[in-house]
Amino acid sequence: MPGEPQDDCLFCKIVEGHVPATIVRETPTTVAFRDINPQAPTHVLVIPKAHYANAAVLAAADPALAADLLREAQEVADEDKLESYRVVFNTGTGAGQTVFHVHAHILGGRGLQWPPG
């Protein structure tokens, strides 16, 4: 079923508390935690508690939940006092997606180049 937890999913395990993470925010529908391999002073992942493989699948299945991720991105930025930040949804292996439970990377706290490469 779309949205159901997946046994082999690392981020479902973080949601369930079976894998530790440095959680910075939690809402009824989302969890935000620090990336284990940070690429910027602030590098937080915001995920829905429900399992969807990527941003497009999530947006099609549950647009309100997709919007929850974007609202939480701003909350994370506010908590880390970021004036500017970047939100990245890597989608597909060619774009660097390695965990197939949708996650927004929130990056900030340093200069961010554009285009990102």
Residue 51 interaction partner, one of ligand AMP, Zn ion, none, beta carbon < 5-8 Å per kind: Zn ion
- Say which amino acid occupies 117: G
> Given the complex with Zn ion, which of 11 and 85 has the nearer CB atom?
11
Size of the chain in residues: 117
Residue 96 interaction partner, one of Zn ion, ligand AMP, none, beta carbon < 5-8 Å per kind: ligand AMP
Q: Which of 17, 18, 28, 37 binds ligand AMP (CB under 6 A)?
A: 37
CA distances for 22 relative to 43, 45, 110, angstroms: 11, 10, 21
Within 47-106, the residues that bind Zn ion by CB under 5 A are 51, 101
Give yes or no for residue 36 binding ligand AMP (CB under 6 A).
Answer: yes
Q: Which pair of structure tokens corresponds to residue 16? A: 């369930």
Considering only the C-alpha atoms of the chain, give the largest distance between any 2 of them, rounded to a whole number of Å: 41
Give yes or no for residue 21 binding ligand AMP (CB under 6 A).
Answer: yes
Separation of alpha carbons 17 and 5, rounded Å: 13
Residue 9 interaction partner, one of Zn ion, ligand AMP, none, beta carbon < 5-8 Å per kind: Zn ion
Give yes or no for residue 9 binding Zn ion (CB under 5 A).
Answer: yes
Q: Name the DSSP letter for residue 96.
A: T
Query: Helix H segments across 1-117?
Result: 10-16, 55-61, 63-79
Within 46-75, the residues that bind ligand AMP by CB under 6 A are none
